[in-house]
Structure formats: structure tokens, C-alpha cells
Amino acid sequence: MAASSVKWDVFTRYRKWVTSNPVAAAEMEAVVKWGSYILAGRLKHSTLLCEIVYSGSRLFEMFNDFIIKQTIPQLTTKEGNRLQVLLTVMEYVEVLVEVAAVQLWGEVGRWAVVSIIQLSKCIGRFLLLLRYKTPIVPSPPIKPLDRRAAINTKQERLMFATHGSAGPEAMQLPHSGRVMRTLAGSSPIHLRTFTPPQPPNNNENEPVISRFPSAKHMTAEAMHILRPICHLGSMYLFGQQSWAPWILSLGMDVTSLKLYNKSQLTAAEKAELAHRRINLIYYLMRSPAFHTVTHRRIKYFLTTIGNRIPFAQTVCQPLLDYIPEWQKIYAYTWS
């Protein structure tokens, strides 16, 4: 009993410190994350150790985010959150599990683990899409918390509680959609008018988006979700160095993005699509494009920099040695 009470007391103190110093907690997480980059290529089993440190830093960041969210009612979780948490944890540890599988069971074990993880993620994302009507499933499903925005939200909440001007002017009923003025937002009797209140967070430039995806959006998101499974299946049929899996997955990515064109999307959904467009660059790091096109050019560039700039060789040479290993590990995570 004494040991459990001590542990609870330590956790309570830590939770209080994180909620009071969210920026300092973020800096501590960054230090741990950078430790994985420093260890890369410096020890015998540095790959596994780096992934343990990196995955631990991401889970540590996620844990702290949950602690901070508990103190801010505006950041409450929504339906399907447990599934989102599970998928996010899988994305954070999938490379660690893959590296461990290689050392334990070799290449056969690696591809078996990769297939199981991608199949599980595919099923989970389809549940979010079909059951919980998530229009676009981000990667990871739970984004890291914007600590500075959370601080501002908490300060506004404290200010409202201190000065007594709590709450928005109006609220919108969830089923009927009717907008009603709140008691806290009511004006003095001599200043009241019969003008109907505006919906909360109303923005004329922000389109009203239906939370039920259309058939076009469902098709686009389904193609994006199925892309890793189709890529792995075609690699099994045609081989890792065949262009068929590469072209198939790239075609599915581009087609999915094209289907989203000229659609009314929220700011968060537009940001996720922009992130997916940027991720198309990673196709240059996937086989066979990497071995036939990209690797030769990267090697020439780093060699030239290392030979012409003083002391650059100490940075360029480890990169040249580590890039093939990095490509072998990270090119097929799809996260």
C-alpha cells in the first residue's frame, strides 16, 4: 500500500508539473527525441536502440498531451477516440517492432510483421471511415497537441472564470441546429434587441462541411487506406525490385488526391491533404526508384560536399553509410 501511495504521489506531482509547464515538457520531449538521432550509427545495435528512444519519445509526448487535455474542457475527446489512440500508438511503434523482428526472425519475420501491422491499421482506418464517419483519417489519427494554443485556451478560461464573463454568446443545439443565446451572453435589459444570435465560431469564409462523407470522398479515402496493402501484395507477386508495386501505389495516391480536388474541406482536412502531397516525395526513396535513380544522385551530392567543404566529410560520410539502412527500414512504413 505504501509503495502504491508513493507512486500515485509521484504521478500527481508530475501531472501538476506538466500542466503548469507544458512548454518545458515539450522541450524535454525534444531532447529525448534528438537523442535517437545522435545515437544513429554509433553503436553496434544502434538501429534498435534509436527506435526504442524515438518511439519512447513519441509515446512520452502523447502521454503528456493527454495530461494537458484533461485540464482543458474544450479539448475533450470525441467518439472513436480509443481506436484513434490504438492506431496512433501503432504508428509510433511500428518501426521499432519491425527492427526487432528483423533481429529476431530475419527478413521473413520482418515482412510478416509489416503485413500484420499494415492490415491492422487498414482495418482500424476503415472503422473510423465507415462507423465513425471520419471524412479524412489523418496520419497519425491523433496529432500532437499545440502546446502554445492550449496555454492560450487555458488562460482564456481562467480569465472568464475570474471576471465572470464566462461562456460564448450563443450555442447551437446538436440535433435541430437551432441557435440560442446563452444566459452568460445576454445583454443588459435596456440594450437587448430581437436580432437573432450568430452561431458560435461563425466564419463567413469557412464553408459548412457535411460530416457524412460523399461516395466520391469515401472512394478517395478507401484508395488511400488500401494503398499499403496493395503495395505489399504486388511486391509479393512481382518482387521488391519490380516497378509494378511502385507504379500501383503511386497511381492510387495520385488518384485519391485528384478525387479530393474542388471539394469543400475544413482547414484541418486541407492541411492533411497538403501533407499527403508532400509525402509523394518519399516515392523517390522507395525501391526501385531509390536504387536506380535517387541513391546515385544523393551519393554524388554528399561526396562533392564532403570533398569541397572543410570538415563536411565528418557529417557526409556517416550519412552515406546510413542512408541505405534508413531506406530499407523507413521506406515502407507508410506513416
Min mean pLDDT across 76-85, 254-263, 284-293, 308-317 is at 76-85
Give per-residue pLDDT as tens, 254-283: 999 999 987 778 888 899 999 999 999 999
- Per residue, the 3-state secondary structure of 60-120, as one string, reads HHHHHHHHHHCCCHHHCCCCCHHHHHHHHHHHHHHHHHHHHHHHHHHHHHHHHHHHHHHHH
Three-state DSSP at 264 gives coil
For residue 322, the model assigns a pLDDT of 81
For residue 202, the model assigns a pLDDT of 46
Give per-residue pLDDT as tens, 82-126: 899 999 999 999 999 998 998 899 889 988 999 999 999 999 999
